[in-house]
Amino acid sequence: MDHRRTDIPALDLAPELAEVASDLEAALRRVIYLGVKHAIGVNSGTDALVLALRALGVGPSDEVITTPFTFFATAESISSVGALPVFVDIDIESFNIRPDLVERAISERTRAILPVHLFGAPADIAALGSIARRHKIALVEDAAQAFGALDQDRHVGTFGVFGAYSFFPSKNLGCLGDGGLLSTDDDDLAAHVRALRAHGARKKYFNEFVGYNSRLDALQAAFLRAKLPHVDEWNEARRKAASRYCVQLRGTPGILLPPERRGTQHVFHQFTIRVTGGRRDALREYLARRGIATMVYYPTPLHRLPVYAGAEARCPAAELASTEVLSLPLWPRITEDLQSRIVSEIREFCGAH
C-alpha cells in the first residue's frame, strides 16, 4: 500500500472559506450576538425606527405610545410615518416608561408601544411585552443606547417584534459616522425592511413601493466589524466605572444614584445622577469651573417641545427628571483617579466633607 499523502484532494474547501472568512465571521457574530434571526444594517438608529414602523404598517390616524424622556428621534420616527406619538410618564428612578401608564393610554387607534432603554438601562420589557400581547399591538424597542444590555441574560432589543439600534459614534457600539440596525425574528417583516431600505425594491429596478435609501455603508460596517468583538468588555468596563461612582457617591446629601433593576444588566451609556433641591444647574456650573464637563440629557421632555405642543400629556416625573438629571463623565477607559477627582468635587459642593 502506498502511504504517500494525496497531492490532489477530491475537494478542498479551505481556500474559498479563507477568502470569505472575515465576512462569514461577521455574519455569524452579527446574528449570534443578539440571538435573532435577522439583523438588518441600516443608515441610522432613526431610520431603524422609521423602517420598523413602516414595515408594521403604522401610519396616519394610528397612535404609538412612547416616553417623553428620550432623544427626539424616538418620537420623530412616529411623526415621520404620519402617526401620533402618545406620551406617557416615566418611573422617576429608572427614567424608563411606566407599564401601568402605558396600559391606561391604549386606545382603539394604538398600533404599537415604543419603549426606550434609556441610558443603557433595560426598560420593564416583561411587563410591556405582556401588555402588547394582551392588546395585540406591536412592541418596538428603541435600544439605541443599550447595545449589549441584558434582561434575564437576553439582549434588549430582542423581546419586541423589532429592536432598533444606533451606531452613532457616541453610542456604546459606535461607527465613524451614521449607522443603525434592526433586529427581528419575523421573516416577512425582515424582507419588508430589506426592501424598504433599498427604495422599496426586492428585485433591483423593480420597485414595489416607496422606500428609502437607508443601507449601512461598507465603511461603517468595516468599523463595526472591528469593534463588535470588544463591545462586551467595554460595556463591562463601563459597569465597573459606574459601580465605582456609586460606591464613592453613596450617602452624598442631595445626590440620587441610578439603580440597577434585579435580573438586568445596565450598560451605562450614561451615568446619570439626580441632583435634588433645585441645585442641578449650580452643581453643573461648579464642576464646569473646575474643568469637569457634564451633560443634561434631556433638558426638555418631548411633550414640552413646541413641535409637540398639541400633545395632551401629563408627565410630571419626566418634567421633574429634566430639572434634576446630570450625566457624569464615563467611558470604558476612564481612570479611577479622574473619577475620584470628580466625586470629591461633587461631595465638596454638597457639603459632604
In the complex, what is the shortest distance from the CB of residue 322 to ligand PLP, in angstroms, rounded to a whole number?
15
Q: What share of the chain is helix, strand, coil (3-state, %, to 5)?
A: 40, 20, 40
Choose the binding region for ligand PLP from 41-49, 218-226, 242-250, 285-293 (rule: CB under 6 A): 41-49
Candidates 42, 44, 141, 155: give the one binding ligand PLP (CB under 6 A). 44
Size of the site for ligand PLP (CB under 6 A): 15
Choose the binding region for ligand PLP from 38-46, 194-202, 212-220, 320-328 (rule: CB under 6 A): 38-46
Nearer to ligand PLP, 80 or 276 (CB): 80
The DSSP code for 332 is T
Nearer to ligand PLP, 249 or 325 (CB): 325
Considering only CA atoms, which of 327, 148, 297 is closest in space to residue 228?
148
Beta 154-155 vs 206-207: how paired, if at all?
unpaired
Residue 326 phi, psi (nearest 5): -150, 120
The answer to whether residue 272 forms part of the interface with ligand PLP (CB under 6 A) is: no
Nearer to ligand PLP, 46 or 294 (CB): 46
The answer to whether residue 158 forms part of the interface with ligand PLP (CB under 6 A) is: no
In the complex, what is the shortest distance from the CB of residue 45 to ligand PLP, in angstroms, rounded to a whole number?
2
The DSSP code for 213 is B
Buried b / exposed e along 120-156 (16+ C-beta atoms within 10 A): bbbbbbebbbebbeeeebbbbbbbbbbbbbbbeeebb
In the complex, what is the shortest distance from the CB of residue 115 to ligand PLP, in angstroms, rounded to a whole number?
10
Which residues, including other chains, have CB under 8 Å from residue 241's CB and lie 6 or more apart?
A: 268, 271, 330, 331, 332, 334, 339
Q: Give the separation between CA 125 and CA 328, rounded to whole angstroms.
A: 26
The beta-carbon contacts of 166-170 under 8 Å, at least 24 apart in sequence, are 166/44, 166/45, 166/46, 166/48, 167/45, 167/216, 167/220, 167/224, 168/44, 168/45, 168/144
Considering only CA atoms, which of 138, 121, 134 is closest in space to residue 65?
138
In the complex, what is the shortest distance from the CB of residue 123 to ligand PLP, in angstroms, rounded to a whole number?
11
CB atoms within 10 A of CB 327: 18
The DSSP code for 93 is T
Site map for ligand PLP, 77-116, x if CB under 6 A?
Answer: ---------------------------------------x
The answer to whether residue 257 forms part of the interface with ligand PLP (CB under 6 A) is: no
Choose the binding region for ligand PLP from 21-29, 68-76, 194-202, 326-334 (rule: CB under 6 A): 68-76
Candidates 39, 73, 78, 195: give the one binding ligand PLP (CB under 6 A). 73
Nearer to ligand PLP, 215 or 347 (CB): 215
The answer to whether residue 55 forms part of the interface with ligand PLP (CB under 6 A) is: no
Q: Is there a cis peptide before residue 308, judged by omega within 30 degrees of 0?
A: no
| Beta bridge partner(s), residue 203 | 206
Choose the binding region for ligand PLP from 139-147, 233-241, 298-306, 345-353 (rule: CB under 6 A): 139-147
Nearer to ligand PLP, 244 or 329 (CB): 329
For residues 178-237, which are near ligand PLP according to CB under 6 A?
178, 180
Q: Applying CB under 6 A, which residues contact ligand PLP?
A: 44-46, 70-71, 73-74, 116, 142, 144-145, 166, 168, 178, 180
